[in-house]
């Protein structure tokens, strides 16, 4: 009887341990660095670079008739507004406001590209 309890306890511990160990999230870039492509930081434009980052990472929440936080990031005007008041940089870095996107960090390439675009004066190109 004591061996049966010990066996059940061990199996329960093993199953719980496997479950907890399997709940790990990381970015694809960190897990598979050899699969990532080179990051183009030479020609950062809103239309070709920034708008696609917003579309892929932000507009699922920040679009439509009732966007999250009242912030719409589907157009240059919306992105320019949060970029010019510093909220975009704060949100992607998680400084003073909740980190965005909430599902995980942007790739280091996307962060670099946004940083360059901000440094260049938020051009609409």
pLDDT of residue 42: 87
pLDDT per residue as tens, the chain (125 positions): 667 777 777 787 777 666 666 555 556 666 665 555 688 888 899 999 999 999 999 999 999 999 888 999 999 999 999 999 999 999 998 888 888 998 888 899 999 999 999 999 999 98
Total residue length of the chain? 125
Taking the C-alpha atoms of residue 115 and residue 101, their distance in angstroms, rounded to an integer, is 16
Provide the pLDDT for residue 19: 63
Q: Which of 16, 101, 22 is nearest to 54 (CA)?
A: 101
Q: What is the pLDDT of residue 22?
A: 56
The pLDDT of residue 23 is 52
């Amino acid at each position: 009887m004591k061996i049966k309890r010990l066996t059940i306890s061990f199996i329960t511990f093993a199953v719980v341990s496997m479950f907890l160990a399997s709940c790990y999230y990381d970015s694809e870039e960190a897990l598979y660095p050899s699969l990532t492509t080179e990051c183009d930081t030479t020609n950062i434009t809103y239309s070709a670079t920034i708008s696609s980052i917003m579309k892929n990472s932000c507009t699922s929440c920040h679009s439509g008739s009732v966007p999250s936080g009242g912030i719409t990031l589907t157009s240059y005007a919306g992105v320019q507004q949060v970029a010019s008041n510093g909220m975009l940089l704060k949100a992607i870095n998680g400084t003073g406001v909740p980190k965005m996107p909430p599902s995980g960090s942007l790739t280091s390439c996307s962060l670099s590209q946004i940083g360059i675009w901000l440094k260049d004066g938020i051009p609409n190109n």
